[in-house]
Structure 1
Amino acid sequence: QEACRAAIQESVDATENVELETVLVESRRTHFPTEVLPEPLRAFVFENAKALYCAEVYFVLPMFATTSAAVGNTYSVEVDSNKGWIEPCIVWTLIVGNSGTMKTIAHDKSVAPIRNYQSEAFSIHDEEMLQFERDCEQWECNNPKPRRNAVTTTIPQPKPIEPTVKRVTVSDTTMEALAGTLSVNQRGLLVDRDEAAGHFQAQNQYKTSGGDDASKWLELFRGNPIIIDRKTSGTIHIKKPFVSFCGTIQPAIFKQTMSNQKRDNGTMARYLIAFPESPPKRWATTGTPSLVTESYERLINGLLALEQQIDDFGHPSPTVLPLSNTARDLYGKWYDQHNIEMDSQSEHLRATWSKLEAYAPRLALLFCLVKAHGSAGQEPDEVDYESMQSAIAVVDWFKVESVRLDALVDSDSETHSILEVVDLIKRNGGSMSSRELQQKSHRFGRKASNAEAWLGRVVEHGYGTWESRKNSQGLSTRCVTLKDNTKNKKNTIKEDK
């Protein structure tokens, strides 16, 4: 926690004294604390990131959303009984990454268990529909329409009820479609959007009943009741909606999407967002151990099998776990320090950090349930100290990351382009000639003069220096070498656990 706070303060101090683009590169990109995650989540992240040579957090965020959706409305956590403060297990995550950084593969592997579960549910529903059609045919034979003016004393048999498919994942995020699915799947849903730009663009595009999709979507973060008035099928009321979200987005689109409006209305603040530094891609020589994948899938299936409690009116009634005394004390101390640090931040950062107050107990609940079902399988009766400690470590990391992301959204287009060139140089080993830039990027190296100009901008903005090095033929060539504080000095992948 002290290291995270030091990193936060360094980033904040930097924003007051140097140009914005310098902050984007020089503010610390700290290593995600994967080691604090409970098993089998920890092994799943380590082994997959090691096998694919990509950032660990690429697996962490969709994994968090998938696991939380598997828990659904079965559990919630009581943070403060005096205030009536109860948090659901809802988690919204967003990965920011350039093309070719393995973010889609990581996303797909992380959500695979719940996608497989959904596919099986569709197969079961197909069989149920075939049986339903046979039952309807039999019902019509047993209950023929009476002739006109005929008198009958036969009591007709009840007509077969059409089966509904069990849903755990969706991709359509218009509120009408989402509410319709939630009304018959109150346990909860995962919105699975690899390309998340469409999710943000779709809000407010299709509404036959008026209203504001964006504001209703934001209400889902707290699990607050929603009411959707539909002209064709009446009103839908969801008392306790549960929707988790995971997606990926490219940096330029992220910057456009998270405009001031999206930040002012709290959209950006509600997501756990990461823009990790990706190591150079390599050919994978080893795969992920099957035991790791099987353990993760077994965990998700076990959480999906948790029984949903229902109240007298047919609404979900989650089992509420209190914080243990030690976990409550730990969270209270962190909460006080967190709010002291938050007072000195910008308005947008304060909005993001205020939502992290909710994410700490939510993740603590998630880790507690993972530990319980990843080992003995016994239901916990409270959220323990270790789970809260791990959750706080994760939230502190997102505090550091949010400083960088806030600066990214504020950056101008030229600054963003320069940072893309810096990223290309990093992935090239920290040094690049104009010819290499031409080979790596048609956009920045359409001509040799264009490549030379972009490398010159990198030097002008203080990210690197011009140097001379010999090429494969032994000839000297002019190149830009990044300064020490922008080089990719160490791989984000740990070779050992």
Structure 2
Amino acid sequence: MDENKPNRINTIDLENDYLKLVHRNENPFPLDIFPNELQEIIFEFLNVFKFNLDYLGAGVLAAASAAIGRSHQLQVKPGWIVKANLFTVIVGKPGDAKTPALSLCFKPINKADKKYFSEYNALMDDYEKSLNDKAENKEQLNKPYLKKILMNDYTPEALILAHSYNKNGLCILVDELVSLLKNLTRYTNSGEEEALLSYWSGATISKDRTSSRSIRINDPFIGLIGGIQIGALKELAKGGKKSNGFMDRLLFVYPENLEKVLWNNNEIDKIHLTNYNNIISNLLDLKNDSQDSPVILKIEKKAQEFLNTWQNNNKTVDLFEYERGISVKLEDYIYRFSLIIQLLSSAIVEGENKAEVQLAAVKGGIKLYDYFFHNAMKVRDQLAPKNYLESLTPLKKAILKDLPNTFSKEVSMKLACKVIDGKPRISERSLHTLLKDEKLFIKVSHGEYEKVIKDKSN
């Protein structure tokens, strides 16, 4: 550091530290993944509208994803291309302002859709006028189509048709995700639930239609974000969604200690709304760079090496069987997160690299992995069967049996992480996750634990 350069206090860091101190959230949304300019806007939204910070952070991330669409993609390796689409679920109680928070975050995209609709109406007026003016050659007139980004209420066929009108992609934005899933059950005979899994993967969409022309979308982009009430989470496990990988693809935003949204007389400085609109608009304009083919970014070497090391040492899958699917999908998501973070930086910071995903973006992606993994475990715990002990994996049962009724963290590390066949039975990180399971353990004091269900033999 240059000794002659004066030290300056970063107000964004102070805001983050203040929130951690006041709210004491065990798993806050990692706002520091965003550039400072965007963090400042989000803090202003928080101070004025009092929406939950997790809702705002995740809403901005999802809006950025929708704005990017298929315009820019990340090449991990030749033949392995990653898009930026996300499947996000906003969890809360009635009155937690889930919908207003998302409306605020998606306002610039709604503004773009409003413009598309105005253009469509003008073209339809001209088209209908031409139909009336020309008695002959009416078949030569091309009927205008409505281009849009956001889909709210739709049939599966309408979704694909809308995508054919907007090659850059769509985002399904719904107030209540359960309603969407229930509607999909009307189409299970044609595999529409499985189609959602395909949309997440970005596989080619082909739809043969008997009444009109068939549709094929070679490089689709479809994102999803919607709200769900805590009591309705069990609906996500019905109809095979828990076993077919659908739930593993969902990014749960499940804040702790949700507080009532307090009304106030605070007014937002319009410059923050303008700046936010400009950031998302810059991402929307990326499609102009891609023309017909997406721009392919690569990941810089040191960033890939860092991520490889992290992934090789990520041992969350060695304890719970059901963690494997969640962990693997979230590891895939890291590339999507990193791509979004990098493009957000390039949309804000002049001269920022738009050809490579850099180390800072990858580190931000890993922070999002940790955040969403914690929330996924929280949801899974709520959906666990009543006979919880019987649902445990053999390894988890063995560790539980080895632990005394009361024990210290040091004792648990010695017993649970004992070396078998030359390697620890589980990692310290997995043990830490296990000790946080409130169905099994109570934290009596710092470093001291007690079993919820006592072993009479101990």
TM-score for both structures, normalised by structure 1: 0.69
1:47 aligns to what? 44
Deviation at 1:225, TM superposition (A): 0.7
- Counterpart CA distance in 2 for 1:130 and 1:201 is 37
Task: After TM superposition, list the pairs within 5 Å mapping 1:188-199 onto structure 2.
Answer: 188-199=169-180
1:381 aligns to what? 355
Unmatched tracts of structure 2, length 5 or more: 1-24, 388-438, 447-458
1:165 aligned counterpart, secondary structure: coil
**Which protein has greater RCO, CA pairs closer than 8 Å, 6+ apart?**
1
Contact 2:71–2:290 at 8 Å: present in 1 too? no
Report the CA distance shift for 1:102/1:212 in structure 2 as closer, same or farther (over 3 A).
Answer: same
Contact 2:178–2:235 at 8 Å: present in 1 too? no
Report the CA distance shift for 1:309/1:183 in structure 2 as closer, same or farther (over 3 A).
Answer: farther
Contact 1:61–1:246 at 8 Å: present in 2 too? no
Q: Among the aligned pairs, what percent are the same residue? A: 25
1:326 aligned onto 2:326 = no
Contact 1:204–1:212 at 8 Å: present in 2 too? no
Report the CA distance shift for 1:290/1:377 in structure 2 as closer, same or farther (over 3 A).
Answer: farther
- Counterpart CA distance in 1 for 2:372 and 2:440 is 27
Deviation at 1:40, TM superposition (A): 4.2
Contact 1:269–1:355 at 8 Å: present in 2 too? yes
Report the CA distance shift for 1:199/1:371 in structure 2 as closer, same or farther (over 3 A).
Answer: same
157, 164, 168: which one aligns with 1:176: 157
1:59 aligns to what? 56
- Counterpart CA distance in 1 for 2:139 and 2:210 is 29
- Counterpart CA distance in 2 for 1:54 and 1:167 is 27
Contact 1:75–1:88 at 8 Å: present in 2 too? yes
More divergent stretch after superposition (396-405 vs 47-56): 47-56
More divergent stretch after superposition (252-261 vs 321-330): 252-261
1:92 aligned onto 2:71 = no
1:229 aligns to what? 208
Unmatched tracts of structure 1, length 5 or more: 1-27, 144-155, 414-460, 465-482, 486-497
Q: Displaced runs of 4+ in structure 1, greater than 4 A?
A: 308-311, 461-464
Deviation at 1:484, TM superposition (A): 10
1:267 aligns to what? 246
Deviation at 1:319, TM superposition (A): 1.1
- Counterpart CA distance in 2 for 1:281 and 1:158 is 56
The one-letter code of the counterpart of 1:353 is S
Aligned length: 369
TM-score for both structures, normalised by structure 2: 0.74
202, 212, 217: which one aligns with 1:238: 217
| RMSD of aligned Cα (Å) | 2.8
164, 169, 172: which one aligns with 2:145: 164
Contact 2:171–2:224 at 8 Å: present in 1 too? yes
1:351 aligned onto 2:352 = no
93, 102, 105: which one aligns with 1:107: 102
Larger Rg: 1
1:213 aligns to what? 192
Task: Show CA shifts across 1:120-154 (max 9, x none).
Answer: 211111111112223334443xx4xxxxxxxxxxx
Task: Show CA shifts across 1:209-260 (max 9, x none).
Answer: x421001111011110122233322432221111111111101112233337
2:185 aligns to what? 204
Task: Show CA shifts across 1:274-320 (max 9, x none).
Answer: 21121243232423332222111111112112235779xxxx52111
1:230 aligned counterpart, secondary structure: coil
The one-letter code of the counterpart of 1:168 is I
1:362 aligns to what? 336
Report the CA distance shift for 1:260/1:336 in structure 2 as closer, same or farther (over 3 A).
Answer: farther
- Counterpart CA distance in 2 for 1:327 and 1:463 is 38
